[in-house]
Structure 1
Amino acid sequence: MEPFRRILIPTDGSDNAKVAVAKGLELAKMTGAEVTAISVMDAVGLAYAAQSTTMSPIYQLLKDGADSAVGQVRKEGEKLGVPVRTVVKEGNPADEIAKASGNYDLIVMGTLGRTGLAHLLLGSVAEKVVRFASCPVMVVRVPKKTGSE
């Protein structure tokens, strides 16, 4: 098996993504891999913004959120001595991540672990990426919280 040289870490800045970011950066540090953090501004949110009379502020909020998410990965990478390139795109997150996958040896991403009706209605970005990516995908699930936390 060839070592991982280029790792793609998708992020939306959520706690679930942060767990995957930590794992991806740790792996990159161990293997000497290059890291790219990607955040995709969801087309659904952009479509909503386009219908709004205040499109510019909504778009800017989405853009600021995406920039912040990849910026956080860069900061975490700096702490570990792992350089991180950042990319922000617009579109369907699963599609954009899968399209980008051809340029990477591994994708490390988080998942919400939805089940039942929520999974049926919302689907899973991670599941779609696993299905359509052209490189291996490591899906990092956030540990479930117990009632005592």
Structure 2
Amino acid sequence: MKIAKKIHLVIDRSKNSDRATDQAVMMARKLEADLSSLYVVNTHMYQTPKVIGAMLRTGKKHLKIVKDNALEIGVNITSSRILVGGPTNDILKDVKSNRSDLLIIGAGANSPKGSVPDKLIRKAKCNLLLVRGDQNDGNFNKILVPINNPDLEAPLFAVNLAKQYNAQLTTCHVIDVKAGLTKERVVYLPEASKGSMAHIPHSLLGEKVPLTPALIDKLKNNMTEKGYKITCTVAKTAKEAGIEAKSVILSGRPSVEINKYATEGNFDLIVMNHTNRGRLSRLLTGSVSEKIARNASCSVMIINNAS
């Protein structure tokens, strides 16, 4: 599996963008990938012709500086252009036209709903890297991959990335006890499925009985055992590739616990699949992967289409 063949870098004049630029150039060199740069003049923010004209001149100068700096370390930026528009859909059109398989953009300490990074998280069809933190050397030293299903692309992608960067790899699975366990069960009446009562919901015909602490503990243990089986499957794949992977089980809300663990463990990258949810569910709460990507303190790579 090749991590990236064509990298698409989105830049502006922010500090976050400077970090993303450094990361993209170093990745292009390490992975021997093509690199294109796209300077964005956001017409949702800048609307007067005079300001847009000044932004165009600034963008042209900045693209030249980025290209010259990249050449100094042996990376040729094959395409540099300015995008004037509003910008998410136009960025994605440009990425599609260029057939890029990795989109890189700088992100702040968090990416609130409605921001460009947030929209790209939800809409990008290629793999997406949100660059955060101070990775001045462009390396990934500690990689965290949250896992629910070892058959998805992200775990294998993370293994290959860890091997490429000689990074420490940690696989984690989160047990959401509150969501996964009910505190009581319904004991149904024998008559529930008979005669005239068959049309009545069973929950209205039964008696609610609290689960015992012993049964709750047993269910927790079963969930933990299942989690270790999932993480160990990926750890085995990593070992076969020459990478030692640590397996961790966390307990709580996945979007909270994963980001907390990543921050406390000083990870510099989280790799995960984009978990799709129904449109209504996303409007109400968003997917777990979107919440992690928006609020993580480190860089996040979302795998949409591993090759």
The question of 1:6 aligning with 2:142 is answered yes
Q: Which residue of 2 aligns with 1:139?
A: 302
1:90 to 245, 251, 265: 251
Amino acid at match of 2:140: F
Q: Which residue of 2 aligns with 1:52?
A: 211
Bigger radius of gyration: 2
Q: Which whole-Å CA distance do the structure 2 matches of 1:112 and 1:37 have between them? A: 17
Q: Which residue of 2 aligns with 1:107?
A: 270
Could you say what secondary structure the match of 1:113 adopts?
coil
Q: Which whole-Å CA distance do the structure 2 matches of 1:113 and 1:89 have between them? A: 22
Q: Which whole-Å CA distance do the structure 1 matches of 2:180 and 2:153 have between them? A: 26
- CA deviation string 1:89-132 (max 9, x = no partner): 11111101111222111000112222411323563111111111
Q: Which whole-Å CA distance do the structure 1 matches of 2:183 and 2:158 have between them? A: 32
Distance 1:85 1:91, change over 3 A: same
Contact preservation (8 Å) 1:41, 1:89: yes
The question of 1:42 aligning with 2:199 is answered no
Q: Which residue of 1 aligns with 2:280?
A: 117
* Higher RCO structure (Cα 8 Å, ≥6 apart): 1
Contact preservation (8 Å) 2:150, 2:231: no
Contact preservation (8 Å) 2:150, 2:233: no
Contact preservation (8 Å) 1:112, 1:141: no
Unaligned runs of 5+ in 1: 144-149
Unaligned runs of 5+ in 2: 1-22, 24-137, 185-209
2:225 to 48, 64, 77: 64
- CA deviation string 1:44-91 (max 9, x = no partner): 245526853321331122111111111111111011111101111111
Distance 1:116 1:14, change over 3 A: farther
Q: Which whole-Å CA distance do the structure 2 matches of 1:28 and 1:14 have between them? A: 16
TM-score of the superposed pair, with normalisation by structure 1: 0.84
Deviation, 1:140, is: 1.2
Contact preservation (8 Å) 1:49, 1:59: no
Could you say what secondary structure the match of 2:273 adopts?
strand
Q: Which residue of 1 aligns with 2:153?
A: 19
Deviation, 1:28, is: 0.6
Q: Which whole-Å CA distance do the structure 2 matches of 1:82 and 1:114 have between them? A: 32
